[in-house]
Amino acid sequence: MRIISYNVNGLRAAISKGFLNWLKMDPADVICLQETKARKENIDHKPFHELGYLDYWFSAQKKGYSGVAVFTKIKPDNVQYGTGHKVSDDEGRVLQLDFGNVHLINAYFPSGTSGEERQTFKYAWLDEFFSYLDQVKKKYPKMVLCGDYNIAHKEIDIHNPKGNKKTSGFRPEERAWMDKFFDHGWIDSFRIHHPEPHRYSWWSKRFPGVRASNKGWRIDYINVTKPLKKKVTDAEIYPNVMHSDHCPVYAVIRV
């Protein structure tokens, strides 16, 4: 199963920048999108279907905000919209699909960059989601968690760790959550194959030229539970795909 996770920062904007032409290149079997900022009924689905993709959407109640979707050439056995956590579900943050005995979760983690109120929400969301994942893992030992986590885990995952210690996305509390997450049986699929530095998936639009100079953050992940660790045969980041301020991250998992 070839999987991509991609925060498109507005699917309609990404389509205007060549997203459909990129899809024609057959980049993956399953494509998990975050921050679609669109509702299913407002998008023309015909181009996706012509390329062989089924599409599943979980949008925010607020128009033009958040939202996740999955385009897949493999028909899922089951689709679950949200987690039952109303505050999160109202923002369209989690979409779950079953492929045989593999349970895939596409998640758009909250950002805290707009202020302390959202940062507090982010911490509460992380704690609730951690507990939720632990419960789901009891039922599905083989899990894949794709998404924009809005957290750079280690210093290697950010271009300026010293200057960003107090910045949302690299605060000690957020990095400690990632430590706890990986200590509880999750594996960073990218780092299995790529221990090298300077590999990023997001570049701020606030500072011109940071993408060209590769001053970025790695905040997009495809992580797997331990039973799938040896099944991850490849992983990559595609910084030259430019429909968004993020780029796609990729993994191949033998299932």
253 CB-contact burial (10 Å; exposed 0-12 / middle 13-18 / buried 19+): buried
Q: Residue 148 catalytic?
A: yes
What are the structure tokens assigned to 56, written together?
């599943």
Helix (H, G, I), strand (E, B) or coil at 31: strand
Residue of 26, 127, 148, 183 marked catalytic: 148
Q: Which residues pair with 105 in a beta bridge?
A: 96, 145
Spatial CA neighbour of 71 closest among 90, 107, 97, 94: 97
The string of DSSP codes covering 133-170 is HHHHHHH-SSEEEEEE-S---SGGGBS-TGGGTTSTTS
Q: For residue 216, how far is the Cα from the chain centroid?
A: 16
Q: Could you list the active site residues?
A: 148
